[in-house]
A and B are shown apart, each in its own frame.
Chain A
């Protein structure tokens, strides 16, 4: 069974600073996707960024980027120029067989002034 591990239950960052959220996963597949989702207090699941494993280049979406290390099975999320609106739970997720998403336990990000 696939596993996704987020080892940081909580993180804090000052506004305008940079923070990195960690995620490791386990799979025997060679081609797959990885996702980061944001869940604000509204509880809506919002896609932050997606990475395709066969692509060497790390995905970037505006202030959000990933550091994808395929051999190490590591998929960290970097948030640059943090904003108050970035405060939320962040989940790393891996789609296994039948595209069933396996989620990590999440990292709660606090953004301080």
Chain B
């Protein structure tokens, strides 16, 4: 099925470990985004990309890195995990033509202990 695929769905990290959250979309969307959602809060933008090879910081980029080597993939890298990065992470992409809208992945629940 077409959409945004995020892996893994759940992960527990120890403080100081690193990991990559994967995000893939098969809709040929140029715009892709990474958000984090802390308990009881709205989503906050970490990084975004307007096309392959182009990335930029969002509201809360510290402790994260991204890359966009292809249109389909937009991985989020966590270096030196900290408890403050315990959150649910969402990847999203935006339709550029026709009906204006966004497609969200199902989220990754990350716990740093």
Contacts and interface: CB of A to CB of B under 8 A. Distances in A.
A101 interface: yes
Nearest to B90: A45
Interface in A78-100: 91, 98-100
A100 B45 CA distance: 8
A35 B99 CA distance: 13
Contact of A43 (B48, B88, B101): B88
Given A98-B50, A99-B94, A47 B101 contact: yes
Contact of B43 (A47, A50, A52, A91): A91
B107 interface: yes
Contact of B42 (A35, A52, A98, A103): A103
B64 interface: no
10 contacts: A43-B109, A44-B106, A47-B102, A98-B31, A99-B31, A101-B35, A101-B43, A101-B45, A102-B45, A103-B43
- Which 4 pairs of residues, A with B, have the shortest CB-CB distance? A103-B42, A45-B104, A103-B43, A105-B42
Interface of B: 31, 33, 35, 37, 40-45, 48, 50, 56, 58, 88, 90, 92, 94, 100-102, 104, 106-107, 109
B61 to A, nearest CB: 12
A4 B94 CA distance: 20
B30 to A, nearest CB: 10
Contact of B56 (A44, A91, A98, A99): A98
B41 A106 contact: yes
A4 B100 CA distance: 19
Contacts of B42: 4, 91, 103-106
B102 A101 contact: yes
